[in-house]
Amino acid sequence: MLTPKDYIGSLMELAQDRRGEFKEMKYITENRASIIYELPLAEMVGDFFDQLKSRSKGYASMEYTFIG
């Protein structure tokens, strides 16, 4: 997930509530962070993207890759 720093806590809570396993977080700029989680696909299929946008007021984005 890419997010402004103001929404980091809320998005980490979202990922953890969806059985996410925290992997890495780094600041890309002073105000923007990249957060990496591994989540089960079943948790992504529902409303995860909608919740991400809602919790970040539309400012966060995400991408995903299958890990096997």
The full set of domains in the chain, from first to last, is 2-55 (3.30.70.240)
CA angle 9, 29, 35 (to 5 degrees): 40
Instruction: State the Cα–Cα distance between residues 18 and 38, nearest whole angstrom.
Output: 10
Task: Please give the pLDDT value at position 68.
Answer: 78
Task: Please give the pLDDT value at position 33.
Answer: 98
Q: Which residues contact 55 (CB under 8 A, 6 or more apart)?
A: 7, 10, 11, 14
CA angle 47, 53, 58 (to 5 degrees): 160
pTM for this entry: 0.91
The pLDDT tens digits for 21-64 are 999 999 999 999 999 999 999 999 889 999 999 999 999 999 99
